[in-house]
Amino acid sequence: MSGTFVGMPAFPKAAHEAVNNQTLRGNLRHATHTIRGKRAKAVAEVSDWAALREAGKQIKDHTLRHLDRYLVQVEEAVTAAGGTVHWAADADEANRIVTDLVKATGETEVVKVKSMATQEIGLNEALEAEGIRAYETDLAELIVQLGKDRPSHILVPAIHRNRGEIRDIFAREMSEWGRPAPEGLTDTPAELAEAARLHLREKFLRAKVGVSGANFVIAETGTLVVVESEGNGRMCLTLPETLISVVGIEKILPTWQDLEVFLQTLPRSSTAERMNPYTSTWTGTTDEDGPRAFHLVLLDNGRTDTLADEVGRQALRCIRCSACLNVCPVYERAGGHAYGSVYPGPIGAILSPQLRGTQSEIDASLPYASSLCGACYEVCPVAIDIPEVLVHLRERVVEGGQVTREGNKVVLRPAKGHAAERAAMRAARWAFSHPGALRTGQRLASRTRRLHPRSLPGPGRAWSATRDLPPVPAEPFRDWWQRTNGGKDGAK
Amino acid sequence: MSSRERILGRVRRALADVPADDTPYEQAVERGYAREHGDRSVGQTVDLLAENLADYRAIVHRCTAADLPATLAGMLAARGARTVIVPPGLDPGWLTSADAEQVPDRAESTPHELDRLDSVVTACAVAIAETGTIVLDGGPDQGRRRITLIPDHHICVVRVPDQVVSSVPQALERLDPARPLTWISGPSATSDIELDRVEGVHGPRTLEVVLVESPAGTEGTS
């Protein structure tokens, strides 16, 4: 995945720093609670929500189990409609394809509509390295780009910034990238949006190359679908002469009719609207309307490895609505940056370690970035059982075992940091299967209970740093049972 | 090996544990969801469209076919529009009363030229009542996608009740995916700054929708 997050500390450390940032926590709390409330209302308006959710799940599962067939169908349909299809096994290959396509046009700048896939592969940085400047055009992405920052939410990437911070970023940075911010810019959202409009319009009107992702690709027709609010998507998709769309292979839907499910569930789950302001669909190229050249880059980058995992593959149903972020008590406090990936929150905690593997410290820590409360599963419009996958990935981190990486089966060794946990579990198993030893140990623990420390020494310190050790009772339960005949004797 | 073969091979190996299943797609998914929500008369569906459009801050007008030219002329005058882009197949009768200079959309006109124009008037392909959405399909009375994007003021005429459907499933049935489609629900908007909704970031900041009654005898049943 992206090089953007190289060197990120593991989740616990990053989260620890984030929760001490009062501004960040305030901004996040306000944002997640507002969207959460609105979403519940938008969903309640639709009486058949449960049926739509089930249909969405089934459509995605069906597509995934026949993905090879649908990929070939997409290729045929897009080609027949005048587009060109490219296949990218990993981020480097996708970046190389896009860079070469841009270079072939002779252009040195591109306008971009917000796309998780291009963030995932670090496309902007790859283009920059080849002397091509990529302008993000979604307002929140613009804030992030100008602020030399990282996105912290799937839907509202600048959720961690308040209006004062945004004003300062615009006033300071806009002139570096093109039209400067107006003199005397205040921090009212309307003025800030106007500044962004003026700054970006000059770029839209002259752009020759646009880069996008897609929310859906329809296999039977070769149609791409982009859902947005601001109109920057429409600008990038229709004004340039060349359009390049980078799309994860899991974004396919079999038929045009399938959109009737997702165009109902996606807007209500993400922005809590009946419908987002703009949805664009296009099929190849159209004479005199829109780009003359259209390229679709089909991206694997860990998706087939995820597909190989029987429990974890359901993460590929994700339609990137971000509902799970907004209900997650952990995300609300830690913020998106702590996840060290473009996919934060509960979905990020299961998607990133699968796309990238669990070898790095940050990826091994992500399955633990959850309280397993289940709220994310409840709100998911395609019913991804995120807690189930989290537990499954925890087991993988601790126990190791066979996984697929870059198409090959490999055996993972247990993660290093969990040696003490495994040793403790082995000891517990032995003790429970040796009743005599257990009894002796329990009596010993009771008798020495006044000497017990409040926290654990050695490798157990991390565990007890965030928890109190349970107090040891004065008498083991089994002794009490024997002494009092199970409480029947009335003695305490 | 090409990346195409590599990816397809990986997909097939990844699915090795999945039992073969040849159920035709029509039977593979339970579509127990509703084709429309609620039980409404045709008139109520049109009312719902007007209500939901307004809820998303589009400005809604209603008139008869006979009053349409005067209504459009009044709307353009109220905006102070000096120029208006006209798609090639727009009913020429619609703008007979308008004072604004009518500019035909030409293939060679640049985005910069479009940026200097005040308003655009189009028809639509279909409108969805439950979501307050109008859909353009690039037909001759709607023109290319760029003309409804760059000018700051978009007037869209919806023939009611012919062009109105209740729901998203009903709209998709009527639309041709081979055409470039634009679904519009209210004016351009963003909530990226502290979730305060601001109209008009990049698309038109003002969307006006005219619900025009079809002449008697041509009313549909949707």
Q: What is the token pair recorded at B106? A: 């030409």
**pLDDT tens-place string over residues B149-172:** 999 999 999 999 999 999 999 999
Interchain contact A358–B (C-beta under 8 A): no
Does the CA dihedral A424-A426-A427-A432 come out positive or negative? Answer: positive
| Residue of A247 and A15 predicted with greater confidence | A247
Supply the mean pLDDT for chain A. Answer: 92
One-letter amino acid identity for A342?
A: V
Q: Is B136 helix (H, G, I), strand (E, B) or coil?
A: strand
Over 90: is that where the pLDDT of A486 sits?
Answer: no
Surface-to-core class of residue A480, CB atoms within 10 Å of its CB (0-12 exposed, 13-18 middle, 19+ buried): middle
Which chain A residues have a beta carbon less than 8 Å from that of B188? 229-231, 277-278
Mutate to test the interface with A, among B170, B176, B201 (most CBs of A within 10 A): B201
With an 8 Å Cβ cutoff, are B191 and A271 in contact? yes
Length of chain A as a residue count: 492
Range 76-105 of A in CB contact (< 8 A) with B: 81, 87-89, 93
State what percent of residues in chain A have pLDDT above 70.
96
Match 């403790």 to its residue by tokens: A424
Helix, strand and coil content of chain A, in percent to the nearest 5, comes to 55, 10, 35
Over 60: is that where the pLDDT of A1 sits?
Answer: no
Does the CA dihedral A373-A379-A381-A383 come out positive or negative? Answer: positive
Mean pLDDT of A236-255: 98
Q: Where are the beta strands (DSSP E) in A63-215?
A: 84-88, 109-112, 133-136, 209-212
Q: What is the token pair recorded at A346? A: 């509960």
State what percent of residues in chain B have pLDDT above 70.
96
What pLDDT does residue A2 have?
A: 44
With an 8 Å Cβ cutoff, are A200 and B202 in contact? yes
Length of chain B as a residue count: 222
With an 8 Å Cβ cutoff, are B201 and A230 in contact? yes
Over 80: is that where the pLDDT of A8 sits?
Answer: no
Supply the mean pLDDT for chain B. Answer: 93
pTM of the predicted structure, to 2 decimals: 0.90
Tell me: cis bond preceding A329? Omega within 30 of 0 counts. Answer: no
What pLDDT does residue A466 have?
A: 72
Mean pLDDT of A369-381: 96
Range 9-68 of B in CB contact (< 8 A) with A: 9-15, 17-18, 21, 25, 28-34, 37, 52, 56
Distance from CA of B202 to the nearest CA of A (A): 5
Over 80: is that where the pLDDT of B175 sits?
Answer: yes
Which chain B residues have a beta carbon less than 8 Å from that of A75? 4
DSSP A153-206: SSS-TTTT--HHHHHHHHHHHHHHHSSPPPTT--S-HHHHHHHHHHHHHHHHHH
Which chain A residues have a beta carbon less than 8 Å from that of B179? 283, 286
Write the residue in A51, A231, A276 that is nearest to B202 by C-beta.
A231
Residue B216 banded pLDDT, cuts 50, 70, 90: low
Please state the ipTM of this predicted complex: 0.95
- What is the number of CB-based contacts under 8 A between chain A and chain B? 246
Interchain contact B190–A (C-beta under 8 A): yes
Q: Which of A217, A234, A236, A235 shows the shortest CA–CA distance to A225?
A: A217
With an 8 Å Cβ cutoff, are B138 and A289 in contact? yes
DSSP A470: P
| Residue of A432 and A312 predicted with greater confidence | A312
Cα separation, A415 vs A467, in Å, equals 22
With an 8 Å Cβ cutoff, are B180 and A282 in contact? yes
Residue B219 banded pLDDT, cuts 50, 70, 90: very low
Pair B191, A158: CB distance under 8 Å = no
Interchain contact A234–B (C-beta under 8 A): yes
H helix or E strand, kind and range, residue A21: none
With an 8 Å Cβ cutoff, are A232 and B201 in contact? yes
What pLDDT does residue A459 have?
A: 64
Cα separation, A148 vs A168, in Å, equals 13
Which chain A residues have a beta carbon less than 8 Å from that of B110? 205
What pLDDT does residue A69 have?
A: 97
Over 50: is that where the pLDDT of B221 sits?
Answer: no
Helix A435-447 to helix A419-432 angle (10° resolution) is 110
Q: Where are the beta strands (DSSP E) in A373-458?
A: 401-405, 408-412
What pLDDT does residue A133 have?
A: 97
Lowest-confidence region among A15-19, A80-84, A168-172: A15-19
CA-to-CA dists, residue B149 to A205, A310, B85, B126, B202, angstroms = 11, 45, 11, 18, 8
What pLDDT does residue B101 have?
A: 97
Residue A269 sits at φ, ψ, to 5 deg, of -80, -30
Q: Which of A476, A463, A453 shows the shortest CA–CA distance to A423?
A: A463
With an 8 Å Cβ cutoff, are B115 and A407 in contact? no
Cα separation, A330 vs A340, in Å, equals 14
Range 6-65 of A in CB contact (< 8 A) with B: 27, 30-31, 34-35, 45-48, 51-52, 54-55, 58-59, 62, 65
Pair A42, A52: CB distance under 8 Å = no
Give alpha helix (H) positions in A49-90.
49-65, 67-80
With an 8 Å Cβ cutoff, are A34 and B195 in contact? yes
Query: Angle at Cα A159 formed by Cα A155 and Cα A165, nearest 5°?
Result: 140
Over 90: is that where the pLDDT of A21 sits?
Answer: no
Range 442-461 of A in CB contact (< 8 A) with B: none
Cα separation, B72 vs A262, in Å, equals 36
Range 97-136 of B in CB contact (< 8 A) with A: 107, 110-112, 115, 128, 130-133
Pair B9, A46: CB distance under 8 Å = no
Pair B163, A308: CB distance under 8 Å = no
Pair B207, B187: CB distance under 8 Å = yes
With an 8 Å Cβ cutoff, are A280 and B186 in contact? no
Residue A7 banded pLDDT, cuts 50, 70, 90: low
Range 299-328 of A in CB contact (< 8 A) with B: 300, 304-305, 307-308, 310, 313
What pLDDT does residue B222 have?
A: 41
